[in-house]
A and B are shown apart, each in its own frame.
Chain A
Amino acid sequence: MKQAKSRYTKCLQWVIGSLLGLLGFSGCEDGIFGKDEPMDMYGVPTADYIVKGSVTDEAGNPIEGLLVTPYLHYGTFAPSQYPTTTTEKDGTFKLDTLKGMGIPPIVVADSDGEANGGHFIPDTLTMKEFEQIKLKDGKGAWYNGVFELKADIKLKKEK
């Protein structure tokens, strides 16, 4: 429905723009269709990031059940924008598609107390601590493509 509406709008704009062009107002044609709007002149580079990792204790044993959360560093992100996950039995995790010009810091924290090997001190990883692999090229001026970010993380036990 939304797509049909958008197609209708574009079609209407095309017709109006063409008629204005015929009337000799080609400059206005640009304006009407937003070519003159800031959004079409400027943009925010974005990319899709798939964040993967594996978490072990200091002895190299995988840790299950850790909560992996993109840190909402400006307070009030809608929770749905940034998915969270927990580590699997083998200590691995995967966060699906974070969108942006980078990723927020990723916090790995114990969520089950003494279960699964004890209580671990949380760690926060910034983007530069992940290995970055490009999976798919970008498109246009502002979309940089799909990246996989990978990190091996070691957590210390709380004493």
Chain B
Amino acid sequence: MGELSLRRRLALELWRIEERRVAREHPLRQLFWECTLRCNLHCRHCGSDCKQEAARPDMPLADFLGVLDNIASHTDPHKVFVIITGGEPLMRPDLEACGRAIYEKGFPWGMVTNGLAMTEARFRRLLAAGMHSATVSLDGLEEDHNFMRGHGRSFERAVAAIRMMAQTPDFLFDVVTCCNRRNIDRLDEVKELLIGLGVKRWRIFTVFPVGRAAQDPALQLTNEEFRRLMEYIKQTREEGRIRVDYGCEGFLGRYEGEVRNRFYGCRAGISVGSVLADGSISACASIRADYHQGNIYKDDFWEVWQTRFEKFRNRAWMRTGQCADCSFFRYCQGNGMHLRDGDGRLLLCHLERLK
């Protein structure tokens, strides 16, 4: 097992036991709802297919609520966290009504937002509608963030949204930063900004070659930069002033247990499901290749969740190509589902980047 210490290897073996149990039981715990494909930004690294005016209309609330009723008749809705995503959820004028209806059905909910359209009045209304959490994107200091987001006021608005959230007692949120070649040297300044704003949780991810980012290799960190990022996260965690995690993707070898609060495991289709804008039933919203398992307009969501998703729950099929002879496959299981293209080929190996 090369660079893995005995201690880490033992821990990973224990983790595998738990991961296999969860895959067997596949309890639905997080449900993404791609409520719109419309977006008010045009981000360079977007993995979504969103546009200012999407060709597809927003999914009617009633259609999604039908899915929630279906889920609630089989499992405790309090244990299924609905994450509203897009596009940009704030593009929906009825977002508060959506949130309230989800909440009234007993499902906790949160949202992912770029913050551009988050006014104080809207934030208060969303809180009143039962919003429990949010994730706000901030990709660096003003110049870097606006460059990534393609909008001159996006930094200012995102910071204002973060400030409102930080000043709201008991509101849980995190800030997510896309680390790229442009902002990697200024992460420390971003960290100080976030600490100053009162942020407690920070998540850093790296661009993966899907969506617009696939055509923009300049956003991809070099291997040396990626290693530097891992060291930075590790040191910041040791420092203890803000909780920082690397995003959920990628088995990270010797950094397992050091840069995230848990060991690696892709829970897509295991405890994470999604309803996409066209009604497709899938897993996490980052998966852009067609691994859809059904459609809410044709299929019973719960039946699909219980009886399909084979490719997600048994990943032996991923053991091809560079994964075929990899001794870490037992822990990695072929990396995240979102890093497989439509033909099942691996788009990115994090371990390779750490070499």
**Which residues of chain A have a CB within 8 Å of any CB of chain B?**
9, 12-13, 16, 19-20, 23-25, 27-28, 30-32, 36-39, 41-44, 46, 74-78, 80-81, 99-102, 104, 142
Binary A-proximity of B68-101 (CB < 8 A = 1, otherwise 0): 0110110001111101000000000000000001
- B351 vs chain A, min Cβ distance (A): 19
Name which of B130, B261, B263 has the most chain A CB atoms within 10 A of its CB. Answer: B261
Interface assignment of B207: CB less than 8 Å from any CB of chain A = no
Name the residue on A nearest B65 (C-beta). A74
- B262:A23 contact, CB within 8 angstroms: no
Residues in A whose Cβ lies below 8 Å from that of B211: none
- B257:A25 contact, CB within 8 angstroms: yes
Interface assignment of B17: CB less than 8 Å from any CB of chain A = yes
- A46:B78 contact, CB within 8 angstroms: yes
A74 in complex: contacting residue of B70, B105, B172, CB < 8 Å: B105
- B81:A38 contact, CB within 8 angstroms: yes
A16 in complex: contacting residue of B17, B66, B101, B107, CB < 8 Å: B17
Q: 8 extra interchain contacts, Cβ-Cβ under 8 A, other than A31-B263, A32-B262, A44-B108?
A: A12-B18, A12-B21, A20-B15, A23-B14, A28-B15, A42-B172, A101-B104, A101-B130
Name which of A13, A25, A99 has the most chain B CB atoms within 10 A of its CB. Answer: A25
- A68 vs chain B, min Cβ distance (A): 20
Chain B interface size, under 10 / 10 to 19 / 20 to 34 / 35 or more: 35 or more
- B29:A37 contact, CB within 8 angstroms: yes
Name which of B15, B81, B262 has the most chain A CB atoms within 10 A of its CB. Answer: B262
Interface assignment of B110: CB less than 8 Å from any CB of chain A = yes
Given A43-B78, A44-B108, A101-B106, check contact A81 B73 (CB 8 Å).
Answer: yes
Name the residue on B nearest A5 (C-beta). B25
Compute how far the CA of A28 lies from the CA of B10 in the bound complex, rounded to whole angstroms: 13
Residues in B whose Cβ lies below 8 Å from that of A30: 261-262
21 contacts between A and B (CB under 8 A): A9-B21, A27-B257, A27-B261, A28-B15, A28-B263, A30-B261, A30-B262, A31-B261, A31-B262, A32-B15, A32-B18, A36-B262, A38-B108, A38-B110, A42-B133, A76-B70, A77-B69, A78-B73, A81-B73, A100-B106, A101-B104
- B10:A23 contact, CB within 8 angstroms: yes
Interface assignment of B1: CB less than 8 Å from any CB of chain A = no
- B323 vs chain A, min Cβ distance (A): 24
- A42:B108 contact, CB within 8 angstroms: yes
Residues in A whose Cβ lies below 8 Å from that of B80: 39
Residues in B whose Cβ lies below 8 Å from that of A9: 21
Name the residue on B nearest A41 (C-beta). B172
The 9 closest A-B pairs by CB, nearest first: A31-B262, A78-B73, A42-B132, A38-B81, A76-B69, A31-B261, A74-B65, A42-B108, A23-B11
Residues in B whose Cβ lies below 8 Å from that of A42: 81, 108, 110, 132-133, 172
- B136 vs chain A, min Cβ distance (A): 16
Compute how far the CA of A32 lies from the CA of B261 in the bound complex, rounded to whole angstroms: 9
Residues in B whose Cβ lies below 8 Å from that of A12: 17-18, 21
Name the residue on A nearest B80 (C-beta). A39
- B106:A46 contact, CB within 8 angstroms: yes
Residues in B whose Cβ lies below 8 Å from that of A104: 104
Name the residue on B nearest A43 (C-beta). B108
- A128 vs chain B, min Cβ distance (A): 15
Compute how far the CA of A142 lies from the CA of B78 in the bound complex, rounded to whole angstroms: 10
Residues in B whose Cβ lies below 8 Å from that of A31: 260-263
Given A24-B7, A44-B108, check contact A19 B72 (CB 8 Å).
Answer: no
Name which of A24, A28, A30, A81 has the most chain B CB atoms within 10 A of its CB. Answer: A28
Residues in A whose Cβ lies below 8 Å from that of B11: 20, 23, 25, 28
Interface assignment of B123: CB less than 8 Å from any CB of chain A = no
Residues in A whose Cβ lies below 8 Å from that of B29: 37-39
- B261:A75 contact, CB within 8 angstroms: no
Compute how far the CA of A72 lies from the CA of B78 in the bound complex, rounded to whole angstroms: 19
Residues in A whose Cβ lies below 8 Å from that of B110: 38, 42
- B66:A75 contact, CB within 8 angstroms: yes
Given A12-B21, A28-B262, A37-B29, check contact A101 B78 (CB 8 Å).
Answer: no
Compute how far the CA of A19 lies from the CA of B101 in the bound complex, rounded to whole angstroms: 43
- B137 vs chain A, min Cβ distance (A): 18
Compute how far the CA of A13 lies from the CA of B104 in the bound complex, rounded to whole angstroms: 32
- A55 vs chain B, min Cβ distance (A): 26
- B14:A19 contact, CB within 8 angstroms: yes
Compute how far the CA of A77 lies from the CA of B21 in the bound complex, rounded to whole angstroms: 31
